Structure 1
């Protein structure tokens, strides 16, 4: 029996009172866990719930509301759908994620697969996808099929192995800085909309002081809930407008309603030409997964003890779960574009907690928020939204990037990936720098010499050429017209 195994989690667990500090207890918990892949994992037998699990659960729920609503709105606006549609579809998506995937997969069956979240970097491309004749269902199914293929053949872990610390750290620095500055600009734009720019300044300044103090006392994992509460209290006290508008209820659960000709999306089912139109964007979305997943896993390596490798996020399993969640969610009528759930895994890693316990609490909070309705209004209120993203995602990205690029060899690669990402986008920067780094032009030359010829330049070259072809086809190179448009005009 597994329960009698002297090496099982239940046998090795020790109470908190036997440890000198809370951190020592949490690190011991991580080191003794042995998740059962594709088998039932149960609380108290394979892991325990701790107070720290509520932090990533709350952060993930806030992030989920924000990101899913942003995805749906990006599709809905060019299609002429009302704001009420955005809220209803976002609530529907949260129920799909919580009941079918968060709890079932990350909480029970594959506890080393990170939760399937939302693909934020793809949001700016959605209006272009719609203008190109793309269909939300066609895009979702294409992303799911490509992502599942990559995960099954372990393509995700291969790309992760080919990416050095310098490249990964540079990506974290770039994404962290761009994200943080964009949220500050967004907060100021919101406050100046009603001539109260001082509210944005006060909220950001208070957030900086709070975050610095949490760093000082070693409680940085509390940044998202405390930051959200602090931002809401300050903004409301200084007179910022806010009201609850979303009523409690359950969204329409009938897929036929969402994919009807005159109901829901009012698009009907996609046709062949619509699948063709979204193919380049689907390839690009999957290409973005690897650097995104790498960045998320880096937080676990930086915060977990070295002997806790069994609970570290598995990239291929995460890809398979995200792909499955994509296909199912899309078929049921949702608009979410799946990826690794950053607003969950980042605070969970900082709080030194494994994936499954917080996943179950996240599922519970997502159901409550979707059915209750009112929390969705609060989570998308600009001060709460911006502060939660800054302290929960973008500042930790900056810190992790700095830690990974301390050495001179890694800083070379980091500088090039930031430079090339600023030129085009993070996918271009990542693929180009991986190629330059592995063939020894920059970075640690000894690392490249230890690699096989296939890993050193053949695979990186093929990936770089493929991605450049896709980006050129859809017009992502600055100053260069989209090749697909030019071809269609001819």
Structure 2
């Protein structure tokens, strides 16, 4: 009997996607159809996955693709501008480099890797938490290419050793939930403040109120009708319409064109970054920052996979994001992009994964569309002006990233055992930063000092305290070296 059961399960898992696919009319609801699509997919790692053979395109794929494109323009512009300011580079340089970065991401990595070669790897996006540190990196004698290569090297080492998966397994639901609540709340408050600041700056404070109020009503209605996957395009469109109708000034300034494609231009002594190629001392200067950047990946990647776990059916485990594969792709993308001349710092692409998971869509189809949209935006130019306009930008980040983060964190902390760990990680993150909060709370939680005591007692010594303690010591030492601990001057 057991043998027959095993053979049946084996046969079911080896059936092709096309042979199991059924038309939409065979299901009672759209949700049932989408969940069936997720459960029958079986992506091949590091082998060719083809559209219509291994996956299909659906209307819902347009939403994460659009959200990802908006997020890409916004986040890469923020990173490149953070480098450009201390280096005295112009806003025209920033726009040119962002367009170049979008072509690199779309043509070399988004479509090729996440769309075709490994649909279990999330798209390689932008590392937002590193933006405040960029002036410190430049002030310490850092070089954008040296930083990118070091981040790629450390990230690849973490991926090869399966360190990302190990750290994710050692982080309890309480710690994950608290981290998501903190990131969601802080991001939400900052975006509302930024939008109101923009409105006050143009002497039209009422526009900020009108946009936020309409966003609250829209999001509540979409949640009521279980259509939150529409929140980014609908919310951004409503924000755009309200701001224009109320008289907010806007004009297109980015014209169509193709950016410089030669690394020699970008790393010339008098062109591009105007810094030349990096030397040994540049790599030494950026090493602590690169370690910290890669350390931030684990909680970031965990948060994105959580959305799949919360929104996908149980049978869809084969399409879940592979943390180590995503780290590998992000590392290679970081290294190649930096050598070619880009200024982006890479992480898991949250503005893609979060809406894709909510829309119950797998990675590859939306990835292909994201790549196409990024190429169009980079060459056409005008969409970039819309994406970075304050009403569109702030609302897209609020409803597409920070509100879902907040909701997911609250879902994960419903068990009383998880509330204590969640509270500690929020407290510690507010005290220093999320990396400090995550590493400290993971150590305390695994030791059984907080949270679920039985979970800590069931772990072997390596998982209970050795790995968490080493992680905490390395990260705190790195933060102390570069002056990130409150009240303690930089040791280096």
TM-score (structure 2 length as normaliser): 0.97
Residue 216 of structure 1 is matched in structure 2 by 224
Residue equivalent to 2:101:
93
The corresponding residue for 2:153 is: 145
**RMSD (CA atoms):** 0.9
* Residue-by-residue CA offset, 1:157-195 (whole Å, 9 max, x unaligned): 000010000000000000000000000111111111121
> SS of the residue aligned with 1:307?
helix
- Are the counterparts in 2 of residues 6 and 12 from structure 1 also a CA contact under 8 Å? no
* 3-state SS, counterpart of residue 132 of structure 2: helix
Tell me the residue number matched to 1:295.
303
Of 121, 139, 149, the residue aligned with 2:129 is 121
> Do the aligned residues in 2 keep the contact of 1:26 with 1:353 (CA within 8 Å)?
yes
- Residues 1:46 and 2:54 aligned together: yes
In structure 2, the gaps of 5 or more residues are 1-11
Contact 1:5 1:11 in 2 (8 A): no
- Aligned match of 1:80: 88
1:265 correspondence with 2:265: no
The equivalent of 1:109 in structure 2 is: 117
- Take 2:417 and 2:39, find their aligned partners in 1: how far apart are those partners? 31
When residues 6 and 444 of structure 1 are mapped into structure 2, their CA distance, relative to the original with a 3 A threshold, is closer
Determine the C-alpha separation between the residues in 1 that align with 2:202 and 2:467. Answer: 52
Aligned to 2:395: 387
Question: Structure 1 length as normaliser, TM-score?
Answer: 0.97
Which sections of structure 1, spanning at least 5 residues, go unmatched?
485-490
Aligned counterpart, 1:27: 35
Match of 2:369 in 1: 361
Tell me what 1:305 maps to.
Answer: 313
In structure 2, distance between residues paired with 1:187 and 1:127: 24
Structure 1 position 221, deviation (Å): 0.2
Distance 1:6 1:169, change over 3 A: closer
Distance 1:404 1:288 in 2: 21
Show CA shifts across 1:311-332 (max 9, x none).
Answer: 0000000000000000000000
Change (3 A) 1:201 1:109: same
Is 1:428 aligned to 2:413, yes or no?
no
Structure 2 Cα separation of the partners of residues 5 and 56 of structure 1: 28
Contact 1:114 1:341 in 2 (8 A): yes
Displacement of 1:447 after TM fit?
Answer: 1.0
3-state secondary structure, aligned to 2:142? coil
Q: Could you tell me which of 69, 76, 79 is aligned with 1:71?
A: 79
1:56 to 64, 76, 83: 64
**Number of aligned residues:** 481
Q: Quick check: 1:43–1:357 contact (8 Å CA) kept in 2?
A: yes
Runs of 4+ residues over 3 Å off in structure 1? none
Shift of 1:7: 1.1
Structure 1 equivalent of residue 140 of structure 2 = 132
The residue number in structure 1 matching 2:474 is 466
Q: Is the alpha carbon distance of 1:273 and 1:6 closer, same or farther for their aligned partners in structure 2, counting shifts above 3 Å?
A: closer
- The answer for the alignment partner of 2:358 in structure 1 is 350
Match of 1:372 in 2: 380
Residue 5 (structure 1) shift:
9.4
Query: What is the DSSP-based 3-state SS (H/G/I as helix, E as strand, rest coil) of the residue aligned with 1:483?
Result: coil
* Equivalent of 2:287 in 279, 284, 288: 279
Deviation at 1:44? 1.3
How far apart are 1:67 and its partner, in Å? 0.2
Corresponding residue of 2:162? 154
Aligned to 1:488: none
